[in-house]
């Protein structure tokens, strides 16, 4: 199979949507409902967020969500003649915005793991 950028990004948009949906289900289960019947308290959630697997899962959701959302923004931008000619600039700007938010988000998740106050 040989992809060009548009078909590859279109396909990845669909794949990321399915992955987000399943990963969110896993996140909700693992962080909130793994102890069925018990009240959902912040302390319990924070305790479960100390797990490396949870960190990996939540980081994946963050990555997939950012990719899905920002790729969507790029698709909308390319709908317009006046933005289309700046495709490369817009794409790189979105990559930078995505990377910045990913780092910020992962840093927030790490705080639970290594007890940053």
CB of 7 to other proteins, least distance (A): 5
CB of 17 to other proteins, least distance (A): 14
CB of 92 to other proteins, least distance (A): 16
Which residues are at the interface with other proteins (CB under 8 A)? 1-7, 10-11, 75, 78-81, 84, 87
Sign of the alpha-carbon dihedral angle for 43, 45, 48, 51: negative
Tokens of 76: 């909308």
Which residue lies nearer to other proteins by CB, 4 or 115?
4
Which residue lies nearer to other proteins by CB, 27 or 68?
68
Residues in the chain: 117
Which residue lies nearer to other proteins by CB, 78 or 109?
78
Answer for the pair 98, 104: CB distance below 8 angstroms, yes or no.
no
Look at residues 59, 72, 61, 67 and name the one whose alpha carbon lies nearest to residue 107.
59
CB of 9 to other proteins, least distance (A): 8
Answer for the pair 49, 31: CB distance below 8 angstroms, yes or no.
yes
Answer for the pair 12, 49: CB distance below 8 angstroms, yes or no.
no
Which residue lies nearer to other proteins by CB, 79 or 116?
79
């Amino acid at each position: 199979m040989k992809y060009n950028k548009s078909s590859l990004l279109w396909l990845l948009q669909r794949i990321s949507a399915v992955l987000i949906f399943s990963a969110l289900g896993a996140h909700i289960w693992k962080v909130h409902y793994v102890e069925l019947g018990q009240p959902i308290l912040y302390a319990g959630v924070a305790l479960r967020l100390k797990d490396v697997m949870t960190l990996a899962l939540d980081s994946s959701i963050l990555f997939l969500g950012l990719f899905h959302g920002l790729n969507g923004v790029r698709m909308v931008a390319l709908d317009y003649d006046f933005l289309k000619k700046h495709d490369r600039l817009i794409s790189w700007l979105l990559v930078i915005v995505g990377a910045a938010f990913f780092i910020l988000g992962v840093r927030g998740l790490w705080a639970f793991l290594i007890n940053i106050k």
